[in-house]
Amino acid sequence: MGNVFPENFLWGASSSAFQIEGAWDEDGKGLTVADYNSFRKSHIQADTKVASDFYHNYEEDIDLMKELGMKTYRFSLSWARIIPDGEGEVNRKGIEFYNKVINKLIKNGIEPFVTLYHFDLPFALVEKYNGWESRKTVEAFHRYAKICFKEFGDRVKYWQPHNEQNLIVRIEERINIYDEEDKWKIDKMRAQMDYNMCLAHALAVNSCHEMIEGSKIGAAVSSSVTYPMTCKPEDVYAARMNDNFKVYYMLDMHYYGEYPGYYIKYLKERNIMPYMKDEDKPILKSAKMDFIAVNYYRTNCAEALPVDETHEFGVREGSVDFNMYGLFKMSMNPRLKATEYGASIDPSGLRVALNEYWQRYHLPLIITENGLGTPDILEDGKVHDSYRIDYLRNHIKACELAIEDGVEMLGYCPWSFMDLLSSAQGFKKRYGLVYVNRTDDDLLDMKRIKKDSFYWYQKVIANNGKLD
């Protein structure tokens, strides 16, 4: 097969601030929601205090990125490192740190691809405003975004406002809901936070375009591709609605500046319509994304879930893969193999997702996350992760097929460049191309060790995606 990847294709790898940086309170950084949530589990697994210690090792780590041949590095800035309480004084040490990272990347020919907010809202905004529930947080985010555009926009052209807004709002601890038990109240708060994040996204998109000439900005979506459990029409509808409620209600808002009808109907029937101002409409409508960033790990199945005596329409059950009464019930696909952490492995689902996003929005796509989480084994100083190579090969192949289908793709960044703190499972679950020698409870020597997948991916990049 010929090589279909464009010449300037952005081969890269990804990470996020709270998962790699460590130095959680160093040089003035403030506490974040991600810190707070990880400290609640410190007794059972690694937390954000040290993580992969990128804060102190960024030079060596970027040297490894260069050795890998990366054309881009997708990473996030920690809002609370730059503005410790989210809305007050700017911490120059935070700006200095990211300047050093960005300059080193550029010096090594690596395009910085920056996310502004990856699950780590400054905790002070939770204490003051209940986080995203308040418009004060929208204002604070907009100010933070503009500070970043001003400070880094001369060198950073690619931006993502939020990472996976559509996933953040499903996980209560990520939206700082801890003790509330009333499901209706939770759904009401969630709907308001979700809307406010859409507004914050739109404000950032517009300011980015105003402030940085030639900039490109787009949403990073947690993908959902859902197969009907059977060919019963109600199951087919359930699968469609699951994708709508997990992905498209949000992408439609980002793209068209308004929620789709089925989502408005849900908000009304559940009586949780968020507060929206008339003056938001032109902002939401004018914000034009330049690309969609796709984070893809797995697919699922869905079947119909009728309402019953105790569950009315729109009541949710679960979090990441929630069921919704009156619409859909999720399950794993019995025809697919899964990772030991329960993610179905489905490269052909990636081809479906890429075609879907392209056909719906005709915006170029970049994969900013795709990877296999496993407890790798270090043997004689080596990590033989042939399973990761298979996973990446099959997913890159799916990108190739999607490009042949006519999809415009800008790049591919596996998750993750190096081992990092899993968003839920500490350090045991590893995704990296580079092994970090620590465990959940022992920092060992934190040495960086190139896995077999590193050498394999290095060749893929050198050959512009031609697979062996």
The residues assigned a catalytic role are: 369
Piece in contact with ligand BG6 (CB under 6 A), picked from 98-106, 235-243, 265-273, 416-424: 416-424
* Dist CA 48 CA 22 (whole Å): 6
List 48, 57, 160, 163, residue binding ligand BG6 (CB under 6 A):
163
| Residues 361 to 400 in contact with ligand BG6, rule: CB under 6 A | 369, 373
DSSP-assigned states of every residue in 316-360: EESSTT-EETTTBEEE--TTS-B-TTSPBP-HHHHHHHHHHHHHH
Nearer to ligand BG6, 42 or 99 (CB): 42
Piece in contact with ligand BG6 (CB under 6 A), picked from 21-29, 161-169, 196-204, 275-283: 161-169
DSSP-assigned states of every residue in 384-446: --HHHHHHHHHHHHHHHHHHHTT--EEEE--B-SB---BTTTBTTSB--SEEE---SS--TT-
| Residues 221 to 280 in contact with ligand BG6, rule: CB under 6 A | 222
The answer to whether 295 and 221 are in contact (CB under 8 A) is yes
> CA 188 → CA 117, 148, 246, 438, distances in Å?
23, 31, 17, 41
Nearer to ligand BG6, 61 or 369 (CB): 369
CB of residue 147 to ligand BG6, shortest distance in Å: 23
Q: Is 414 in the site for ligand BG6 (CB under 6 A)?
A: no
Residue type at 244 in one-letter notation: N
Q: Is 15 in the site for ligand BG6 (CB under 6 A)?
A: no
CB atoms within 10 A of CB 188: 18
Nearer to ligand BG6, 111 or 120 (CB): 120
| Residues 41 to 80 in contact with ligand BG6, rule: CB under 6 A | none
Residues 6+ apart with CB under 8 A from 372: 339, 345, 387, 388, 391, 392, 431
List 305, 422, 434, 451, residue binding ligand BG6 (CB under 6 A):
422
Piece in contact with ligand BG6 (CB under 6 A), picked from 186-194, 223-231, 245-253, 423-431: 423-431
List 4, 177, 211, 424, residue binding ligand BG6 (CB under 6 A):
424
* Dist CA 134 CA 130 (whole Å): 7
* Dist CA 258 CA 243 (whole Å): 17
- How many residues at the interface with ligand BG6, by CB under 6 A? 15
List 423, 426, 427, 465, residue binding ligand BG6 (CB under 6 A):
423
Piece in contact with ligand BG6 (CB under 6 A), picked from 66-74, 180-188, 415-423, 454-462: 415-423
Nearer to ligand BG6, 196 or 222 (CB): 222
Which secondary structure element, helix H or strand E, spans residue 222, and what is its range?
strand 216-222
Nearer to ligand BG6, 131 or 426 (CB): 426
Nearer to ligand BG6, 266 or 412 (CB): 412
List 87, 120, 133, 164, residue binding ligand BG6 (CB under 6 A):
164
Nearer to ligand BG6, 14 or 333 (CB): 14
Residue 289's SS3 state is coil
Residue 44's SS3 state is coil
Nearer to ligand BG6, 371 or 465 (CB): 371
DSSP-assigned states of every residue in 82-107: HSTTSSS---HHHHHHHHHHHHHHHH
202-231 footprint of ligand BG6 as x/- string (CB under 6 A): --------------------x---------
CB of residue 328 to ligand BG6, shortest distance in Å: 20
List 9, 10, 12, 16, residue binding ligand BG6 (CB under 6 A):
16
Token pair of 283, please? 């902002």
Which stretches within 1-84 are classed as H helix? Answer: 17-20, 33-39, 54-68, 79-82
Q: Is 38 in the site for ligand BG6 (CB under 6 A)?
A: no
List 165, 295, 344, 370, residue binding ligand BG6 (CB under 6 A):
295
Nearer to ligand BG6, 280 or 369 (CB): 369
Piece in contact with ligand BG6 (CB under 6 A), picked from 66-74, 192-200, 424-432, 447-455: 424-432
Residues 6+ apart with CB under 8 A from 262: 241, 244, 249
Residue type at 139 in one-letter notation: E
Q: For residue 205, count CB atoms less than 10 angstroms from its CB and return exposed for 0-12, middle for 13-18, buried for 19 or more.
A: buried
CB of residue 42 to ligand BG6, shortest distance in Å: 17
CB of residue 297 to ligand BG6, shortest distance in Å: 6
Binding site for ligand BG6 (CB under 6 A): 16, 19, 163-164, 167, 222, 295, 369, 373, 415, 422-425, 429
